[in-house]
Structure 1
């Protein structure tokens, strides 16, 4: 968010928590992108604040968390001292979560795979309407193929991304019999190492697809420790995920930090990942 919008988002998070009876003397910005993540102290609550246009996504995330709360899924929990719902204030959607102090140690590939296996098993126990990963690809294609929505994307790169997204999406979705609910983006930034063990966050990305789509977000060696995973399919999904990432960076209104760097680096990662698929 731009500085002026960030200030409003921080105040919306602070005011919402305070009016719910939580003590907020200070606010620490943990992450700032199209939505922000705030640590509220001393109540030690994590506030996720998004523009109200993301209200449906915030409500979906809270619903996923509520469904997983009773089945021992390895996910961050909603703040138990307040009602588990999304609050709207000053054109922002605010959800409140338990804050976990991070443990400063790397999560080993076998532990990473084990967390995903636990999470996938938990997701198979709930019935939830969620988009298919191909819906995400269709959204990215609409950005790439519309020059007004991605005006700075060079023509050759536009054609490359469009072809890659459509081709890999079709290849990965050939067999849908094994599709299930997924986290959607379980990359290392969304897996916290806590005193309770590794916990997944950012549940708004929940979607349907093969487990390999999730494994493609994890460190490369994790897939080798996930029973029954198709390593070639993981490579395809990894290339597709980099193409999705790159497509989002070329949106006119993308607010990811260091966007210009990641526009170039994202395309490089796509080409490298596609090349690896072709070699395979």
Structure 2
């Protein structure tokens, strides 16, 4: 968020938490992108503040977290001191979460795979209406094929990206018998190493698909420790993820820092990932 919007978001988060009866003396900005993550002290609550246009996503994330808490999933939990809901204030959607102090180094590959398996098992125990991963691909393809949304994408790269997204999506979704609920974007930045063990965060990306779609977001060493994973399918999913990443970067309104670099790098990594894919 830009500085002015960030100040408004911080104040909206502070005021909401104070009105709920929790003491707030200071606010620490932990992450700032299209939405802001704040740590409020001394009440020690983690607050996610997003523009109200993301209200549906915020409400979906809270619902996912609420359902998963009931099956002991390895995920960050909502703050137990307040009702599990999204608050709207000053055009922002605000949700309150438990704050976990990070501990130790990055999660080891074997531990990452173990928390993956436990999370996928928990996701199989809940009933939730979630989109299929192909819905995400359809949105990306629409952005790629619409010159108004991606005006700086060259004709050759537009054709390459559109065809690749379509082909990979069709190949990966050809057999949906093993599809289940997934995290959706369980990359290392969305796994916290805490005193409780590794926990997944950012649950708004929950979708349906093969477990390999999730595994493709993790380092390759992790996949080797996940029993039963289809490595060829994981390679195709990894390529698809780079295709999705590239599609988002070429959108006119994308706000990722160093976007010019990642536009080129994303396409390069997509081509490299495609070279590793086995036959569909």
Aligned to 1:101, the other structure's residue is in SS state coil
| CA distance in structure 2 between the partners assigned to 1:7 and 1:22 by the alignment | 20
| CA distance in structure 1 between the partners assigned to 2:177 and 2:83 by the alignment | 37
* Residue correspondences, number: 280
CA shift digits 1:168-201 (9 cap, x unpaired): 0001001100000000000000000001100000
Give the 4+ runs in structure 1 shifted more than 6 A: none
CA shift digits 1:138-193 (9 cap, x unpaired): 00001111111111222222111111111100010011000000000000000000
| CA distance in structure 2 between the partners assigned to 1:68 and 1:109 by the alignment | 23
- What is the aligned partner in structure 2 of residue 269 from structure 1? 269
Could you list the runs of 5+ residues in structure 2 that have no partner in the other structure?
A: none
Aligned to 2:277, the other structure's residue is in SS state helix
CA contact (8 A) 2:61 2:203 kept: yes
CA contact (8 A) 1:33 1:257 kept: no
Bigger mean CA deviation after superposition, 166-175 or 28-37: 28-37
Could you list the runs of 5+ residues in structure 1 that have no partner in the other structure?
A: none
| CA distance in structure 2 between the partners assigned to 1:238 and 1:192 by the alignment | 22
Aligned to 1:28, the other structure's residue is in SS state strand
| CA distance in structure 2 between the partners assigned to 1:261 and 1:6 by the alignment | 25
- What is the aligned partner in structure 2 of residue 62 from structure 1? 62
Bigger mean CA deviation after superposition, 35-44 or 198-207: 35-44
Deviation at 1:30, TM superposition (A): 1.3
Does structure 1 residue 21 correspond to structure 2 residue 21?
A: yes
Within 5 Å, which residues of 2 pair with 1:30-69?
30-69=30-69
CA contact (8 A) 1:49 1:93 kept: yes
Deviation at 1:260, TM superposition (A): 2.2
Does structure 1 residue 209 correspond to structure 2 residue 209?
A: yes
Cα RMSD (Å): 1.2
Bigger mean CA deviation after superposition, 168-177 or 243-252: 243-252
Aligned to 2:26, the other structure's residue is in SS state strand
Does structure 1 residue 117 correspond to structure 2 residue 117?
A: yes
Bigger mean CA deviation after superposition, 26-35 or 122-131: 26-35
| CA distance in structure 2 between the partners assigned to 1:276 and 1:195 by the alignment | 37
CA contact (8 A) 1:117 1:226 kept: yes
Deviation at 1:29, TM superposition (A): 1.4
Does structure 1 residue 75 correspond to structure 2 residue 66?
A: no
CA shift digits 1:183-233 (9 cap, x unpaired): 000000000000110000000000000000000001101111111110000
Deviation at 1:261, TM superposition (A): 2.1
- What is the aligned partner in structure 1 of residue 108 from structure 2? 108
Aligned to 1:152, the other structure's residue is in SS state coil
CA contact (8 A) 1:223 1:229 kept: yes
Does structure 1 residue 166 correspond to structure 2 residue 166?
A: yes
